[in-house]
Amino acid sequence: VAIQPPDTPANPAVTPAARVPPMAAPFAPGGTSAVPPASVPLGFLAAAGVGLCLFGFAVWFAADRIVESPTHPGAIAAVHVGMLAFLTTAVLGAAHQFTPVVARRPLRSVRAARLTLVGMVLTAWLLPSGFAHGPEGLVLAGGVVGALTVLLAAWNLSGPLSARDGGVPLVGLRLSITFLVLTVAFGVVYAVDRQAGWFPLLPHRVLAHAHLGLLGWLGITYVAVAEKLWPMFLLAHRPTARAGAWAVGLLGAGVPLLAVGLLFAVTPLATVGGVVTVAGLGCHLTSLGTVVRHRRRPLELLHGFLFV
Protein backbone atom coordinates (compact mmCIF):
# COMPACT_ATOMS: atom_id res chain seq x y z
CA VAL A 1 0.00 0.00 0.00
CA ALA A 2 1.47 3.32 -1.04
CA ILE A 3 1.42 5.81 1.83
CA GLN A 4 0.91 9.41 0.75
CA PRO A 5 3.58 11.78 2.22
CA PRO A 6 2.10 14.34 4.60
CA ASP A 7 3.37 17.29 2.52
CA THR A 8 1.66 16.10 -0.64
CA PRO A 9 -1.70 17.76 -1.29
CA ALA A 10 -4.72 15.47 -1.25
CA ASN A 11 -5.88 16.91 -4.55
CA PRO A 12 -2.99 16.74 -7.06
CA ALA A 13 -4.56 19.54 -9.05
CA VAL A 14 -4.08 21.93 -6.13
CA THR A 15 -0.37 22.66 -5.87
CA PRO A 16 1.27 24.32 -2.87
CA ALA A 17 1.84 27.44 -4.95
CA ALA A 18 -1.87 27.64 -5.67
CA ARG A 19 -2.66 27.64 -1.95
CA VAL A 20 -0.39 30.67 -1.27
CA PRO A 21 -2.50 33.82 -0.96
CA PRO A 22 -1.70 36.58 -3.45
CA MET A 23 0.82 39.12 -2.22
CA ALA A 24 -0.09 42.75 -1.76
CA ALA A 25 1.26 45.28 -4.20
CA PRO A 26 4.93 46.01 -3.46
CA PHE A 27 4.23 49.74 -3.30
CA ALA A 28 1.79 49.20 -0.43
CA PRO A 29 3.65 47.10 2.16
CA GLY A 30 0.74 47.19 4.54
CA GLY A 31 -1.80 46.00 2.00
CA THR A 32 -4.12 48.00 -0.21
CA SER A 33 -6.79 48.87 2.36
CA ALA A 34 -5.06 52.15 3.26
CA VAL A 35 -4.62 53.34 -0.32
CA PRO A 36 -7.27 55.80 -1.58
CA PRO A 37 -9.07 55.16 -4.88
CA ALA A 38 -6.90 55.76 -7.92
CA SER A 39 -9.21 58.58 -8.99
CA VAL A 40 -7.96 60.71 -6.06
CA PRO A 41 -4.26 61.04 -7.00
CA LEU A 42 -4.99 60.82 -10.73
CA GLY A 43 -7.46 63.70 -10.45
CA PHE A 44 -4.79 65.89 -8.89
CA LEU A 45 -2.20 64.83 -11.47
CA ALA A 46 -4.56 65.46 -14.39
CA ALA A 47 -5.31 68.96 -13.09
CA ALA A 48 -1.58 69.53 -12.59
CA GLY A 49 -0.92 68.47 -16.20
CA VAL A 50 -3.35 71.10 -17.42
CA GLY A 51 -1.72 73.60 -15.08
CA LEU A 52 1.74 72.79 -16.48
CA CYS A 53 0.60 73.44 -20.05
CA LEU A 54 -1.11 76.69 -19.13
CA PHE A 55 1.92 77.71 -17.08
CA GLY A 56 3.88 77.60 -20.32
CA PHE A 57 1.38 79.94 -21.96
CA ALA A 58 1.37 82.24 -18.92
CA VAL A 59 5.16 82.56 -19.05
CA TRP A 60 4.98 83.15 -22.79
CA PHE A 61 2.47 85.98 -22.39
CA ALA A 62 4.46 87.55 -19.53
CA ALA A 63 7.92 86.93 -20.99
CA ASP A 64 8.68 90.60 -21.70
CA ARG A 65 7.80 91.51 -18.12
CA ILE A 66 9.48 88.67 -16.23
CA VAL A 67 13.01 89.89 -16.99
CA GLU A 68 12.45 93.64 -16.93
CA SER A 69 9.94 93.82 -14.08
CA PRO A 70 9.52 90.57 -12.10
CA THR A 71 7.03 92.24 -9.75
CA HIS A 72 4.71 93.14 -12.63
CA PRO A 73 1.18 91.69 -12.14
CA GLY A 74 1.55 89.52 -15.24
CA ALA A 75 4.80 88.02 -13.96
CA ILE A 76 3.31 87.40 -10.51
CA ALA A 77 0.30 85.73 -12.12
CA ALA A 78 2.56 83.43 -14.16
CA VAL A 79 4.57 82.46 -11.08
CA HIS A 80 1.39 81.57 -9.18
CA VAL A 81 0.12 79.46 -12.06
CA GLY A 82 3.33 77.43 -11.86
CA MET A 83 3.36 77.19 -8.06
CA LEU A 84 -0.34 76.49 -7.54
CA ALA A 85 -1.88 75.07 -10.71
CA PHE A 86 1.11 72.83 -11.45
CA LEU A 87 3.48 72.14 -8.55
CA THR A 88 1.26 72.34 -5.47
CA THR A 89 -1.60 70.52 -7.17
CA ALA A 90 0.68 67.69 -8.29
CA VAL A 91 2.49 67.37 -4.95
CA LEU A 92 -0.77 67.42 -2.99
CA GLY A 93 -2.03 64.57 -5.16
CA ALA A 94 1.15 62.62 -4.50
CA ALA A 95 0.83 63.31 -0.78
CA HIS A 96 -2.73 61.94 -0.73
CA GLN A 97 -1.45 58.72 -2.30
CA PHE A 98 1.97 58.38 -0.71
CA THR A 99 1.21 59.29 2.92
CA PRO A 100 -1.31 56.47 3.52
CA VAL A 101 1.09 54.01 1.87
CA VAL A 102 4.03 54.97 4.10
CA ALA A 103 1.95 55.14 7.28
CA ARG A 104 -0.26 52.14 6.41
CA ARG A 105 -3.24 54.18 7.56
CA PRO A 106 -6.07 55.52 5.36
CA LEU A 107 -7.02 59.14 4.85
CA ARG A 108 -9.65 60.45 7.21
CA SER A 109 -12.03 61.00 4.31
CA VAL A 110 -11.91 60.28 0.58
CA ARG A 111 -14.66 62.85 0.06
CA ALA A 112 -12.49 65.48 1.74
CA ALA A 113 -9.68 64.58 -0.67
CA ARG A 114 -11.98 65.23 -3.62
CA LEU A 115 -13.08 68.56 -2.09
CA THR A 116 -9.41 69.44 -1.67
CA LEU A 117 -8.89 68.93 -5.40
CA VAL A 118 -11.83 71.22 -6.22
CA GLY A 119 -10.59 73.88 -3.81
CA MET A 120 -7.05 73.65 -5.14
CA VAL A 121 -8.18 74.14 -8.74
CA LEU A 122 -10.29 77.15 -7.71
CA THR A 123 -7.38 78.66 -5.82
CA ALA A 124 -4.96 78.01 -8.66
CA TRP A 125 -7.02 80.07 -11.07
CA LEU A 126 -8.67 82.71 -8.89
CA LEU A 127 -5.35 84.08 -7.62
CA PRO A 128 -3.50 84.35 -10.96
CA SER A 129 -6.57 85.81 -12.64
CA GLY A 130 -6.85 88.45 -9.94
CA PHE A 131 -3.16 89.28 -10.25
CA ALA A 132 -3.22 89.45 -14.04
CA HIS A 133 -6.36 91.46 -14.79
CA GLY A 134 -8.48 91.80 -11.65
CA PRO A 135 -10.81 92.55 -10.12
CA GLU A 136 -8.84 92.71 -6.88
CA GLY A 137 -11.54 90.72 -5.09
CA LEU A 138 -10.41 87.60 -6.96
CA VAL A 139 -7.08 87.71 -5.12
CA LEU A 140 -8.78 87.81 -1.73
CA ALA A 141 -11.27 85.11 -2.75
CA GLY A 142 -8.43 82.88 -3.95
CA GLY A 143 -6.55 83.40 -0.70
CA VAL A 144 -9.55 82.47 1.44
CA VAL A 145 -10.42 79.41 -0.67
CA GLY A 146 -6.76 78.35 -0.61
CA ALA A 147 -6.57 78.64 3.17
CA LEU A 148 -9.70 76.55 3.69
CA THR A 149 -8.47 73.99 1.15
CA VAL A 150 -5.08 73.56 2.79
CA LEU A 151 -6.59 73.28 6.26
CA LEU A 152 -8.91 70.57 4.94
CA ALA A 153 -5.97 68.72 3.38
CA ALA A 154 -3.93 69.00 6.60
CA TRP A 155 -6.83 67.58 8.63
CA ASN A 156 -7.35 64.75 6.15
CA LEU A 157 -3.67 63.82 6.05
CA SER A 158 -3.30 64.10 9.83
CA GLY A 159 -4.78 60.61 10.17
CA PRO A 160 -1.93 58.75 8.45
CA LEU A 161 0.61 61.36 9.56
CA SER A 162 -0.11 60.49 13.20
CA ALA A 163 1.40 57.01 12.72
CA ARG A 164 4.65 56.42 14.60
CA ASP A 165 6.41 53.83 12.46
CA GLY A 166 6.82 55.60 9.10
CA GLY A 167 10.45 56.56 9.58
CA VAL A 168 12.17 59.51 7.92
CA PRO A 169 9.65 59.86 5.03
CA LEU A 170 6.75 60.32 7.45
CA VAL A 171 8.66 62.85 9.56
CA GLY A 172 9.47 64.79 6.42
CA LEU A 173 5.84 64.79 5.30
CA ARG A 174 4.73 66.12 8.68
CA LEU A 175 7.19 68.99 8.30
CA SER A 176 6.21 69.70 4.71
CA ILE A 177 2.48 69.89 5.47
CA THR A 178 3.29 72.29 8.31
CA PHE A 179 5.25 74.49 5.89
CA LEU A 180 2.38 74.32 3.41
CA VAL A 181 0.00 75.73 6.03
CA LEU A 182 2.53 78.46 6.91
CA THR A 183 3.05 79.34 3.25
CA VAL A 184 -0.67 79.73 2.63
CA ALA A 185 -1.06 81.74 5.83
CA PHE A 186 1.58 84.16 4.54
CA GLY A 187 -0.21 84.32 1.22
CA VAL A 188 -3.56 85.15 2.81
CA VAL A 189 -1.97 87.96 4.84
CA TYR A 190 -0.41 89.38 1.68
CA ALA A 191 -3.70 89.06 -0.22
CA VAL A 192 -5.58 90.99 2.47
CA ASP A 193 -2.79 93.56 2.69
CA ARG A 194 -3.19 94.38 -0.99
CA GLN A 195 -6.52 95.92 -0.02
CA ALA A 196 -5.85 97.07 3.56
CA GLY A 197 -2.30 98.36 3.07
CA TRP A 198 -1.00 97.44 6.52
CA PHE A 199 2.60 97.29 5.33
CA PRO A 200 4.49 97.63 2.03
CA LEU A 201 5.11 94.36 0.22
CA LEU A 202 8.86 94.78 0.02
CA PRO A 203 10.90 92.26 -1.99
CA HIS A 204 12.49 90.62 1.07
CA ARG A 205 9.04 89.89 2.51
CA VAL A 206 7.91 88.28 -0.71
CA LEU A 207 11.15 86.24 -0.74
CA ALA A 208 10.31 84.87 2.73
CA HIS A 209 6.98 83.68 1.37
CA ALA A 210 8.62 82.13 -1.69
CA HIS A 211 11.29 80.25 0.26
CA LEU A 212 8.75 78.77 2.66
CA GLY A 213 6.87 77.36 -0.32
CA LEU A 214 9.79 76.28 -2.49
CA LEU A 215 12.10 74.80 0.17
CA GLY A 216 9.76 74.14 3.10
CA TRP A 217 6.70 72.73 1.35
CA LEU A 218 7.87 71.42 -2.03
CA GLY A 219 11.52 70.81 -1.11
CA ILE A 220 11.00 68.78 2.05
CA THR A 221 8.17 66.83 0.43
CA TYR A 222 10.48 65.83 -2.40
CA VAL A 223 13.29 64.85 -0.02
CA ALA A 224 10.93 62.79 2.14
CA VAL A 225 9.38 60.96 -0.80
CA ALA A 226 12.77 60.32 -2.39
CA GLU A 227 14.03 58.64 0.78
CA LYS A 228 11.32 56.02 0.27
CA LEU A 229 11.37 55.71 -3.51
CA TRP A 230 15.09 55.77 -4.31
CA PRO A 231 15.81 52.39 -2.67
CA MET A 232 12.79 50.94 -4.48
CA PHE A 233 13.83 52.27 -7.88
CA LEU A 234 17.39 50.99 -7.51
CA LEU A 235 16.68 47.87 -5.42
CA ALA A 236 19.15 49.22 -2.88
CA HIS A 237 19.73 47.80 0.61
CA ARG A 238 21.91 50.45 2.19
CA PRO A 239 23.21 49.88 5.71
CA THR A 240 21.88 53.18 7.06
CA ALA A 241 19.60 56.05 6.04
CA ARG A 242 21.39 58.58 8.25
CA ALA A 243 22.11 61.02 5.42
CA GLY A 244 18.42 61.17 4.54
CA ALA A 245 17.49 61.84 8.15
CA TRP A 246 20.04 64.66 8.28
CA ALA A 247 18.66 66.09 5.05
CA VAL A 248 15.12 66.28 6.43
CA GLY A 249 16.30 67.61 9.79
CA LEU A 250 18.58 70.30 8.41
CA LEU A 251 16.01 71.51 5.89
CA GLY A 252 13.36 71.60 8.60
CA ALA A 253 15.66 73.70 10.79
CA GLY A 254 17.20 75.90 8.10
CA VAL A 255 14.11 77.01 6.20
CA PRO A 256 12.46 78.81 9.17
CA LEU A 257 15.70 80.64 9.95
CA LEU A 258 16.09 81.65 6.32
CA ALA A 259 12.47 82.79 6.02
CA VAL A 260 12.51 84.81 9.26
CA GLY A 261 15.83 86.39 8.31
CA LEU A 262 14.40 87.42 4.94
CA LEU A 263 11.09 88.58 6.42
CA PHE A 264 12.70 91.00 8.88
CA ALA A 265 15.79 91.75 6.75
CA VAL A 266 18.18 90.28 9.34
CA THR A 267 21.10 89.33 7.13
CA PRO A 268 23.08 87.22 9.66
CA LEU A 269 20.02 85.12 10.50
CA ALA A 270 19.17 84.62 6.83
CA THR A 271 22.79 83.65 6.17
CA VAL A 272 22.77 81.02 8.93
CA GLY A 273 19.47 79.66 7.63
CA GLY A 274 20.86 79.54 4.11
CA VAL A 275 23.98 77.65 5.19
CA VAL A 276 21.93 75.10 7.17
CA THR A 277 19.55 74.66 4.23
CA VAL A 278 22.41 74.12 1.77
CA ALA A 279 23.89 71.55 4.17
CA GLY A 280 20.54 69.74 4.15
CA LEU A 281 20.52 69.66 0.36
CA GLY A 282 24.09 68.33 0.45
CA CYS A 283 22.97 65.51 2.75
CA HIS A 284 20.18 64.80 0.29
CA LEU A 285 22.70 64.30 -2.53
CA THR A 286 24.87 62.22 -0.20
CA SER A 287 21.87 60.00 0.47
CA LEU A 288 21.39 59.56 -3.28
CA GLY A 289 25.02 58.56 -3.65
CA THR A 290 24.61 55.97 -0.89
CA VAL A 291 21.61 54.45 -2.63
CA VAL A 292 23.46 54.29 -5.95
CA ARG A 293 26.47 52.60 -4.37
CA HIS A 294 24.35 49.88 -2.76
CA ARG A 295 22.04 49.30 -5.74
CA ARG A 296 21.26 45.82 -7.01
CA ARG A 297 19.97 46.95 -10.38
CA PRO A 298 21.92 48.23 -13.40
CA LEU A 299 21.52 51.90 -14.29
CA GLU A 300 18.95 52.49 -17.03
CA LEU A 301 17.34 55.39 -18.83
CA LEU A 302 14.78 55.94 -16.07
CA HIS A 303 17.62 56.55 -13.60
CA GLY A 304 18.91 59.30 -15.87
CA PHE A 305 15.62 61.11 -15.37
CA LEU A 306 15.88 60.49 -11.63
CA PHE A 307 19.39 61.95 -11.39
CA VAL A 308 18.45 65.05 -13.39
Q: Give the 3-state secondary structure of the chain.
A: CCCCCCCCCCCCCCCHHHHCCCCCCCCCCCCCCCCCCCHHHHHHHHHHHHHHHHHHHHHHHCHHHHHHCCCCHHHHHHHHHHHHHHHHHHHHHHHHHHHHHHHCCCCCCHHHHHHHHHHHHHHHHHHHHHHHHCCCHHHHHHHHHHHHHHHHHHHHHHHHHCCCCCHHHHHHHHHHHHHHHHHHHHHHHHHHHHHHCCCCCCHHHHHHHHHHHHHHHHHHHHHHHHHHHHHHHHCCCCCCCHHHHHHHHHHHHHHHHHHHHHHCCCHHHHHHHHHHHHHHHHHHHHHHHHHHHCCCCCCCHHHHHHHC
N- to C-terminal Cα distance for the chain? 69
pLDDT over threshold 90, residue 2 = no
* Amino acid 67: pLDDT: 82
Q: Band the pLDDT of 210: cuts 50, 70, 90.
A: very high
Q: In this predicted model, which residue has the larger pLDDT, 78 or 15?
A: 78
Q: Band the pLDDT of 305: cuts 50, 70, 90.
A: confident
* Amino acid 195: pLDDT: 80
pLDDT over threshold 70, residue 196 = yes
**Range of 4-13, 21-30, 108-117 with top mean pLDDT:** 108-117
- What value does the mean pLDDT of the chain take? 87
* Amino acid 28: pLDDT: 41
Percentage of the chain beyond pLDDT 70 is: 90
* Amino acid 10: pLDDT: 47
**Range of 41-50, 221-230, 234-243 with top mean pLDDT:** 41-50
* Amino acid 22: pLDDT: 40
pLDDT over threshold 70, residue 85 = yes
Any idea which of 149-153, 232-236, 256-260 has the lowest mean pLDDT? Answer: 232-236
- Average pLDDT of span 232-239: 88
